[in-house]
Structure 1
């Protein structure tokens, strides 16, 4: 179990202090707002060459200008496979850190042109396609890390393999969000199993509850003010997993408040839901999700 000196109140800058990423190349998805901005800022601040992978290039350019340093912007729409493919094909050279940060939460019912449920498509399938498309670049780095941003909301639902896209069930925004966030954890488990021989590890991180654009579809009453973090605090666990020497060669794990967290067999009745559900770390579920995801993308 990995434990650090940092915790709930730590900021991304504090976590990154003393680490040198000069010459390292990083991609952060969804880095035009929220914790993506602070993740990119902290990594650029310790020398990394950061690419902001964003849907809104103009917004990304403003962030890049504000951050300064070696920060570039590239268009990426995770629900558009041609956009994901173009991003991956245009990448040249090694990639040392991929932060799969972008996401949506509790959206109204919506589907992609392939018929994929919107949250699963955005939060998992787009990032899956991106990571697999960048595999050779990650391998070329020799010791690459993938940060898969998840949520305690994963406890709301395992991946329902028999009906991922709500063809037979009534759509439920939080259930759809939950299974997409479970998928983010399972991806880290299976990516590590498949790719650690290539020097690639992946870990899942729970950033905490932060008021950002992610909450556009929910009301303030849905979030307990006592557990709210700033965006700087929310980015801390992502930055820790991306940079800490403690995680060298470590993958397939779940981190919350800058520490690896316990496995839970029951969801807490009252917030915050602590720990990581056992089904989200199950290697059988992880392998099944990987194969299922490959099949979907092959048919797209």
Structure 2
């Protein structure tokens, strides 16, 4: 299968990727849109004329962002709604309140390398936030996405997925010593596997999902890491938030991705599958286990069981 190549690359910005795209009359949801990449993703989508809902924990911050986006884009169709991905009731309430079709869902919110923390359900925080909450949101919004006929889900992953596959027998570190980076890596692998299985299950409903690595960007995501990520990143590999949001916006809007799902992109292009770290340039490559269909099915089934418990 030939890798998808686009005219865009490392330095492209979200605005450049969205230039000339008209999404008037279409609706998008961006999680974690009150900070970092979420802001620039929402801004670029609003710039296309789409109606954009900012799904955020901090409503005050979300309203400030929405006001700024209205000013910079001229688009007044901006909404702010509460969403706490670690709280199943909050996710269910968001999905139940949604009315009408949904064309684009950007699963952008996340936490990185957080101290050992568990939700009231006993779920490890990074797995709960980065994967389970988004899984519950997407499945809860399935009918709204299916109503469009050509809806897209964008799953924001990371090169950190190369740190760990999903450890199905111990996702919540009940038997392993907790390691914040292994937990992060596992959750980011889950983001890719979700895109694989969502596309397989829902393509007949006109829903496709793709995953991506946004790049190395200094945002609030690094609050537990002193801004250093999983290792020192050379300055020439760092991106601005506008550049970091570009691949998300590409997957949400590009005509080249129409009907295509279950793939993983870096710097606005599909990246090679690898069997070990170091096979491709730093921050590129998707581990084979993250695209494995059997792993994707197993994760979906596990996620349903956890949420039903």
Shift of 1:213: 0.2
Q: Does 1:140 align with 2:147?
A: yes
Q: Does 1:28 align with 2:38?
A: no
Unaligned runs of 5+ in 2: none
Q: Does 1:124 align with 2:131?
A: yes
Deviation per residue, 1:252-300 (Å, 9 max, x gap): 000000000000001118972420000000000000000000000000x
2:81 is paired with a residue whose SS is strand
Shift of 1:78: 0.1
C-alpha contact (below 8 Å) 2:215/2:283 kept by paired residues: no
Q: Does 1:170 align with 2:177?
A: yes
C-alpha contact (below 8 Å) 1:105/1:119 kept by paired residues: yes
Query: Which position in structure 1 is the counterpart of 2:290?
Result: 280
1:230 aligned residue (240, 262, 276): 240
Q: Give the Cα separation in 2 of the matches to 1:107 and 1:220.
A: 13
1:114 is paired with a residue whose SS is coil
Normalised by the size of structure 2, how large is the TM-score? 0.95
C-alpha contact (below 8 Å) 1:209/1:223 kept by paired residues: no
Query: Which position in structure 2 is the counterpart of 1:201?
Result: 208
Q: Give the Cα separation in 2 of the matches to 1:269 and 1:282.
A: 18
Q: Does 1:239 align with 2:249?
A: yes
Q: Does 1:103 align with 2:115?
A: no
Query: Which position in structure 2 is the counterpart of 1:262?
Result: 272
Give the stretch that moved more between structures: 259-268 or 269-278: 269-278
Q: 1:270 to 1:24 in 2, by over 3 A?
A: closer
Normalised by the size of structure 1, how large is the TM-score? 0.98
Unaligned runs of 5+ in 1: none
Q: Give the Cα separation in 1 of the matches to 2:255 and 2:280.
A: 34
Shift of 1:227: 1.2
2:11 aligned residue (2, 9, 12): 9
User: What is the aligned length?
Assistant: 299
RMSD between superposed Cα atoms in Å: 1.1
Query: Which position in structure 1 is the counterpart of 2:49?
Result: 47
